[in-house]
Amino acid sequence: MSNAKFETAIGKIDEAHAQDPNRVPSAQGEQPYELLYSNKMSEYLQKCDPDASDILRIAVRAQHLRRWEVPRNSYAKNKAGYHLWRAYLKKRQADLAASICLQSGYTEEDANRVAGLVRKENLKQDMETQTLEDVACLVFLDDQFEEFEKEHDEAKIINILRKTWGKMSKRGHELALGISMSDHARELITKALADE
């Protein structure tokens, strides 16, 4: 059962997401992209782990916290630039999430745990971190993949799909195979998994 500090933290995270100037169409009309993304993250968490702790639920919801403030094009458009951008975002988003937790009445220990999850520490060893990674990969496949695959050549897409698949758990794989997608997207996933 959720409590007041959890509701406060989620509310503050959603308030931040609602400030995203990037708007996208949705069933409820135009919405800030990061608010829509965070809701999809929470929906997939419910599928992955219906009994997830409030700490994991907060970390999942904070995954892209204020990400639009640091656009990808603020770093070099190469592999090194991409990795620097992602590393900076992980730290920044973790720090912002921890701050919201403290403001919402969580202990420093809980706030640090949320931050560690947002940074995806101990992936493969920590079940909550693995669940968060599964959720992020599932949202990528469900929400971003078809647009992404239009922008890159097939070899790069297949490589990215293999890396994505490798980061996921068996449960994540099961959920991924159930995602509705175009025939072409499904064909690319089949090719990516052919050698797995």
What are 24's strand-pairing partners?
A: 31
Structure tokens at 160: 């990215």
Provide the 3-class DSSP secondary structure of residue 31: strand
Question: What does the alpha-carbon distance between residue 19 and residue 35 come to, in Å, rounded to a whole number?
Answer: 9
Q: Say if residues 102 and 108 touch (Cβ distance below 8 Å).
A: yes
Structure tokens at 120: 């995806």
Question: What does the alpha-carbon distance between residue 99 and residue 33 come to, in Å, rounded to a whole number?
Answer: 22
pTM of the model: 0.91
Give the distance from CA 58 to its chain's centroid. 12
Q: pLDDT tens string for the chain (196 positions)?
A: 459 999 999 999 999 999 999 999 888 889 999 999 999 999 999 999 999 999 999 999 999 999 999 999 999 999 899 999 999 999 999 999 999 999 999 999 999 999 999 999 998 899 999 999 999 999 999 988 877 777 788 888 888 889 999 999 999 999 998 998 888 888 888 888 886 5
Q: Say if residues 124 and 163 touch (Cβ distance below 8 Å).
A: no
